Amino acid sequence: MNQPPASPSVSVDDFTTDFISRLHNSRGVDLESASDNDLYSALAWTVRKHLIDRWLVTKRVQRENKAKTVAYLSAEYLLGAQLHNMLLASGLGTVARESMASLGLSFDWLAELEVEPGLGNGGLGRLAACFVDSLATLDIPATGYGIRYQHGIFRQTFVDGRQVEQPDNWLELGSPWEFPHPEASIVVHFGGHVEHTTDAEGNDLAAWKPAWNVLAVPYNYLVPGYGTQNVNSLRLWSARATQSFDLQIFNSGDYENAVRAQTYAENISQVLYPEDSTPQGKELRLQQQYFFVAASVQEMIGQVGTSLDELRTLPQRVVFQLNDTHPVIAIPEMMRLLVDVYGMEWDEAWGITRSVFNYTCHTLLPEALEVWSVDLLGRLLPRHLEIIYRINDDFVAEVRESHPGNELLVRRMSIIQEQPFRAVRMAHLATVGSTKVNGVAALHSELLKDKVLVDFSNLWPEKFTNVTNGVTPRRFVKIANPGLSSLIDEAIGTDWVKDLSQLSRLEPFADDAAFREQFRAVKAANKTRLVETLRKRDGIELADDAIFDVMVKRLHEYKRQMLKVLHVVTLYDKILRGELDPESMTPRVVIFGAKAAPGYLMAKEIIALINAVGATINADPRVKGALYVAFPANYNVTLAETLIPAADLSEQISLAGKEASGTGNMKFALNGALTIGTLDGANVEIRELVGDDNFFLFGLTEPEVATLQAKGYVPSAYYEANASLKNAIDLIASGAFSGGNRQTFEGIVSDLLWHDRFLVLADYQAYIEAQNVVESAYADQDAWAKSAILNVARSGFFSSDRSIRDYLDRIWHTPAVPVQ
Ligand code: GP0
């Protein structure tokens, strides 16, 4: 079948010989003197060698075919650990394991030495990582472009239950997975001013006179497909000071300034902004955006050729996908290159530009839509601002023509906002400059059309489309859940890894008692594995005979970790009151994982509350093991790979109309957890597919939310009217979780009572009732297993391979180029 050829001629002995010679030749050590890092690096180099031939062939075939390429532009790639994925793609897993064993080394121990590249914040960055995996697997010529941050997402620690951020240092010991190419560096300019002249025909000629520049040094990473020879590239740019930038100063003897200049330039790729779902209007961030986009667009153009005839073929050669608004400055950059640098007429350049860009929107939160003040943008990229103005002039004229006299509409749609300050609305620029605009789940795309970008969808209905997100089954099932994978293999063969729709063939097995038994055994083993991991990693001691109730995602008020906290506090309160008997309850382990943006104070308060509630409950003998709260610090992709397969219950409880899609929700369903969720994001599609009986639905719908908010939402009324809600909030307010200090969580409590922007109190009762249904459903383990199997069998749609096929059909139209 479609198995990756287990790199034909590699025996364990060959692998071992190679590994030893790597140690010698690349690290200058022998087995006896090798450090951990020597061993890990040599292992990685030995594995990657077997993918490089495929990579070189892929590049040659794609170049010779002049294949149309997908250029995925993303400021984030939350890649996760590389070794396991490279082993899966190369088919060398068993060989590597046996080879290490033959040397008396533990493969698992070596694998755990890897520090994952955490070059993203959450769902958006992880989606990009899943997409490059699927593009490679589907033989689509594609390059992921992004930034090689020196420091990825911060490492979260807890001090007295409060989040303290530590710098991530994934490059400290070097990465064996990257291929730097300083010789292919690209100069990126900033600042200065624009000079205008007029040519013989009276056309305006613009010349940007930048004030400073940096070098963008590309680092390439292998992106191997699964079950194919195809290996694509991820190209991440690293900032380096140009010689001209600092040498002059240095030669003039001003060492201090020379060093400062260098530091300034190299700062650009120093650190990932840890903001999620809120933009950070900082100059350095705009520098990062332009830095990687300018280098990427220049490089693509270089591949196509810079004569006008060659440039005219751009739409046949490349399609750029803008992952949110972060890379949208690529649109004026393309115009600048075509018009100012290569001398194309504006109108023709605009036609080409619009046909090569497409934009994916990932949010519905108005506060998440990025704007750049005209001030800042004009200072950093003066020519781009002029270009944006001209694009806007033409666009606004088009709106006026189709809607004469409607100046209100013009103001709403303009790429430039006037209030509260003059700024460029990046989502508007993206929409005007793209062929297609997509949302990331069915409901999200509808709300995009009807609310966030309604004026644009009225003007250009055909521009809007949906591509529901997906997740790669390689990392999140095959690698993360080997037990389930073997069980599936035995039942339906191995094709599902490349064709996840095959999972539907598991349906009949839901009615097979022996299969259900095996399925439960796999889940139990995954729970035991998680218990061991958390013991080693965090010193947390969990019972494994409880329902594992898991809420992992970024900490954000709209995701409503607070609602989960209220559920936990309610259970605790009822135990204390004697309304719930801890001895007869199904033991429940509630597991949280969440990082908060460092400047998001309310989110950090909620983290402190979760830890405080956990500490109190876990230490209270009256609870008698019926309830336990675990909050391992530093949730990341690596932990997700152990956590998700162990979950029984997946918490997807955002306020309807706020979560664009979610992708964690898909990973849980695929690994046989049942969802408790609202009708939000892709939950809607999950429920439709897995069936109402296999999904615990609760909460207001998006229209109900809108109605309630329109008529005036009064959270305190829910508090007054609901005794158990009142008890839970009062317990928090009483200082029960803060050593009697009523001040500690006063901010959270008063926000809930008087603001509660995300209607936690309004959905509380429905949530508690749904959890009661969960509790009784879990009591019938066999029926639960049946539902869980049906969740797996019906989640094939959520493969990122399917998402990529949708992008191909609806947006990119890029043919596959199989590599022999
Ligand atoms: C959206 F706006 N997302 C943002 C952002 O700044 N960061 C981010 O991760 C997420 C959405 O919230 C999402 O709904 C979606 O699935 C993901 O992007 C990928 O499209 C996460 O649940």
pLDDT in tens, 709-740: 999 999 999 999 999 999 999 999 999 999 99
User: Which residue's CA is the nearest one to ligand 1's atom 22?
Assistant: 662
Active site residue: 523, 667, 786, 802, which one?
667
**Residue bearing the CA closest to ligand 1, atom 18:** 124
Q: How many CB atoms lie within 10 A of CB 171?
A: 16
Of 559, 560, 588, 687, catalytic: 559
- pLDDT confidence of residue 690: 98
Report whether pLDDT(466) > 70: yes
Strand pairing report for 588-593 and 627-630: parallel
Q: What is the pLDDT of residues 37-68, one digit of tens each?
A: 999 999 999 999 999 999 999 999 999 999 99
Stretch 734-757: mean pLDDT, rounded? 98
- What are the pLDDT digits (tens) for 688-706? 999 999 999 999 999 999 9
Q: Note the pLDDT of residue 19.
A: 98
- Average pLDDT, integer, range 637-665: 98
List residues bridging with 232 in a β-sheet.
223
Q: What domains appear along the chain, each with residue ranges and CATH number?
A: 1-64+84-114 (no CATH), 69-81+116-367+430-469 (3.40.50.2000), 480-798 (3.40.50.2000)
The catalytic residue among 554, 588, 595, 786 is 554
CA of 20 to the centre of ligand 1 (A): 44
Number of the ligand 1 atom closest to the C-alpha atom of 121:
9
Indicate the average pLDDT of the chain.
Answer: 96
The pTM of this model reads 0.97
**6: pLDDT strictly greater than 70:** no
Confidence label for 253 from pLDDT (cuts 50, 70 and 90): confident
Per-residue pLDDT, 820: 85
* Separation CA 461–CA 255 (nearest Å): 58
Residue 41, judged by CB atoms within 10 A of its CB (0-12, 13-18, 19+), counts as buried
**pLDDT value at residue 251:** 67
What is the β-pairing status of strands 231-241 and 142-147? parallel
- Measured in Å, residue 594 CA sits from the centre of ligand 1 at 14
Q: Are strands 162-166 and 155-159 parallel, antiparallel or unpaired?
A: antiparallel
Mean pLDDT of 595-617: 98
Higher pLDDT, 783 or 266: 783
Dihedral sign from CA coordinates of 32, 36, 38, 41: positive
Give the pLDDT of residue 196. 97
User: What is the model's pLDDT at position 87?
Assistant: 98
- Give the active site residue among 68, 326, 362, 463: 362
Nearest-atom index, ligand 1, CA of 360:
20
* Ligand 1: nearest atom to the Cα of 275: 6
pLDDT band at 8 (very low <50, low <70, confident <90, very high): low
Which of the four pLDDT bands, split at 50, 70 and 90, describes residue 246?
A: low
The answer to whether the complex's ipTM is over 0.85 is yes
State which ligand 1 atom lies nearest to the alpha carbon of 278: 6
Ligand 1 atom closest to Cα of residue 469: 20
The answer to whether residue 554 is catalytic is: yes
- State the distance from the centre of ligand 1 to the C-alpha of 130, rounded, in angstroms: 14
Closest ligand 1 atom to the C-alpha of 120? 9
pLDDT reading at 1 higher than 60: no
Residue 126 CA to ligand 1 center (angstroms) comes to 9
The pLDDT value recorded for residue 247 is 58
Respond yes or no: is residue 362 known to be catalytic: yes
**Contact criterion met (CB below 8 Å) for 781 and 111:** no
Catalytic residue flag (residue 260): no
pLDDT at 810: 98
Residue 29 CA to residue 23 CA, distance in Å, equals 6
- Residue 559: active-site member: yes
Question: Three-state secondary structure along 601-660?
Answer: HHHHHHHHHHHHHHHHHHHCHHHCCCEEEECCCCCCHHHHHHHHHHCCEEEECCCCCCCC
Rounded distance from Cα 66 to ligand 1 centre (Å): 34
pLDDT of residue 2: 43
Asked if residue 728 lies in contact with residue 745, where contact means CB atoms within 8 angstroms, the answer is no
If DSSP states are collapsed to H, E and C, what string results for 692-707?
Answer: HHHEEECCCCHHHHHH
Q: Which residue has the higher pLDDT, 366 or 210?
A: 210
Is 528 a catalytic site residue?
no
Phi-psi region of 273 (alpha: psi -120 to 50; beta: other; left: phi over 0): beta
| CA 782–ligand 1 middle distance (angstroms) | 35
Residues 254-285: tens digit of each pLDDT: 777 777 778 888 999 999 999 999 999 999 99
Taking only the tens place, the pLDDT of each residue in 418-449 is 999 999 999 999 999 999 999 999 999 999 99
Does the annotation mark 553 as catalytic?
yes
| Average pLDDT over every residue of 532-544 | 97
pLDDT tens-digit profile of 124-148?
Answer: 999 999 999 999 999 999 999 999 9
Q: How far apart are CA 66 and CA 57, in angstroms?
A: 14
Residue among 698, 736, 701 at smallest CA distance from 620: 736
Of 50, 449, 553, 567, which residue is the catalytic one?
Answer: 553
Q: Which residues line ligand 1 (CB under 6 A)?
A: 121-124, 127, 276-277, 362-363, 368, 440, 469, 659-663, 681
Cis peptide before 4 (omega within 30 of 0): no
pLDDT above 60 (res 3):
no
CA–CA distance, 575 with 585 (Å, rounded to integer): 10
Residue 145's H or E segment, with its range, is strand 142-147
Distance 650 CA to ligand 1 centre (A): 18
Whole-number Å distance between alpha carbons of 354 and 236: 25
